[in-house]
């Protein structure tokens, strides 16, 4: 553990990515790249910004169409609801920061019955790995960034957390993750994160009682 995770007993909020973290996603990014003539190593959203203005709107609408179809077929991932219920009982603040458009993100929240405090999308702040959305939440909540965990399944999530000086938590679903070195914490599934937080909160309570 590093200096950020040393402070996890003082955790005050947990922020989540959406696709691949809380809910399933089956967007065919290879098809999207082909349809948008986007090179394999380029970020799709950044690629759209390089297109002529008259093409940007059509490209954005194409991505939104894929996202909305994906929302209709999404499912909650292992441990999702139990973890959110646990965080609610502990009165910890929660939020979602996603690269999705707002309409698709809202559809996924409804489809999967997710009770979550805040939702920020690429329409609200620059997309991850930019830290803007995460820092905005920390400011709104008046919580130090290092007391917030950001949970995601991809390198952009970990980079955003690091850029915001938050605790970067990777959910890897037992799949190879060449970017795992960017994470402060790593778990296969959300239920393992829930157990970790329960253990940390218990240790914190024991420490408080010992001081008292």
104 with 131, same domain: the answer is: yes
Do 134 and 170 share a domain, yes or no?
yes
Same domain, 123 and 187: yes
Would you call 95 helix, strand, or coil by DSSP? strand
Closest CA to 169 of 183, 154, 179: 183
For the chain, what is the domain count? Answer: 2
pLDDT at 64: 86
Whether residue 87 sits in one domain with residue 47: no
pLDDT digits (tens, 9 = 90+) for 54-69: 888 888 888 889 899 9
Q: What does the mean pLDDT of the chain come to?
A: 90
| Bond before 129 cis per omega within 30 degrees | yes
- Shared domain for 147 and 65, answered yes or no, is no
Alpha carbons 45 and 199: distance in angstroms, whole number: 39
- What CATH number did the domain enclosing 114 receive? 3.40.50.1000
Given a cut of 50, whether residue 110 has pLDDT beyond it is: yes
Residue 111 and residue 187 share a domain? yes
* Residue 176: domain span: 5-25+76-211
Q: What is the mean pLDDT of residues 36-43?
A: 85
Provide the 10 A C-beta neighbour count for residue 40. Answer: 8
pLDDT at 117 over 60: yes
């Amino acid at each position: 553990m590093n200096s950020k995770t040393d402070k996890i007993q003082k955790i005050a909020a947990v922020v989540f990515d959406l696709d691949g973290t809380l809910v399933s996603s089956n967007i065919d990014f290879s098809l999207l790249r082909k349809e948008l003539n986007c090179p394999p190593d380029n970020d799709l959203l950044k690629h759209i910004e390089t297109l002529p203005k008259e093409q940007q709107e059509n490209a954005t609408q194409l991505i939104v169409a894929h996202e909305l179809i994906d929302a209709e077929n999404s499912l909650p991932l292992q441990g999702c609801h139990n973890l959110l219920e646990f965080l609610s009982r502990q009165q910890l603040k929660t939020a979602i920061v996603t690269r999705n458009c707002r309409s698709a993100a809202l559809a996924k929240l409804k489809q999967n019955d997710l009770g979550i405090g805040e939702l920020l999308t690429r329409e609200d702040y620059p997309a991850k790995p930019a830290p803007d959305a995460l820092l905005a939440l920390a400011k709104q909540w008046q919580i130090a960034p290092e007391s917030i965990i950001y949970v995601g399944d991809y390198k952009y999530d970990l980079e955003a957390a690091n850029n915001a000086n938050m605790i970067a938590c990777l959910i890897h679903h037992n799949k190879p993750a060449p970017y795992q070195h960017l994470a402060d914490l790593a778990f296969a599934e959300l239920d393992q994160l829930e157990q970790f937080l329960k253990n940390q909160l218990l240790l914190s309570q024991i420490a408080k009682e010992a001081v008292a």
